[in-house]
Amino acid sequence: MNSCILMAHIVQAPELRFTQDNQRPVAQMLVEFASLRDNDPPGQLKVVGWGNLATEIQESYQVGDRIIIHGNLRINTIDRPEGFKEKRAELTASRIYKAEGNFVPSAEPARPSNVVSMESYNRPASSPPLENYSRPVSSPAASPAAPSEPGPIPSEDLDDIPF
């Protein structure tokens, strides 16, 4: 199962419809999000919500709102009257949140004031050296007479497992 989280803003007002068979609510809207490259246009995506979420989308969200959407991404194939098939992406939402604040990416990510870099950490003299943390832990049950110093790490390639 796929899962997608997208931050975007609404560019087309949510539209609420109902299914013919059991009158289940379905809401759809068009959102826009920034592209990965500076010279590319922003991406647009159709977002669909079902049931209680559809009613919430219709009542709580409007054009211009910045939202965070969590859902499943799928590609629909549509037969065009011109004789070719068109593929369109659609995000079926499972959760939607309003995003508050300024989310414009900067060249360097901001660091909260309560975060300290690991380079500034001074280890106590009694703590073991860092190189001990990179060695594999040997099981005493596997080797009853384990040496006090770990031996060399085997150089066998474990990626060559035949299937």
pLDDT tens column, 72-123: 999 989 888 998 998 989 999 999 999 875 544 444 445 555 555 556 556 5
- We report the CATH number of the domain holding residue 23 as 2.40.50.140
Largest CA distance in the chain: 77
CB crowding 122-154: b at 16 or more within 10 Å, else e = eeeeeeeeeeeeeeeeeeeeeeeeeeeeeeeee
Would residue 161 count as lying in a domain? Answer: no
Q: Do residues 53 and 67 touch, judged by C-beta distance below 8 A? A: no
pTM, 2 dp: 0.57
Query: Is 60 exceeded by the pLDDT of residue 55?
Result: yes
| HSE, side-chain direction, 13 A CA sphere, residue 122 | 2
Q: Is 51 part of a structural domain of the chain?
A: yes
- Whether 49 maps to a domain, the answer reads yes
Residue 25 lies in a domain: yes
Decide: 90 and 48 in contact? Cβ < 8 Å. yes
Which domain covers residue 83, as residue numbers?
4-93
Split into its structural domains, the chain has a count of 1
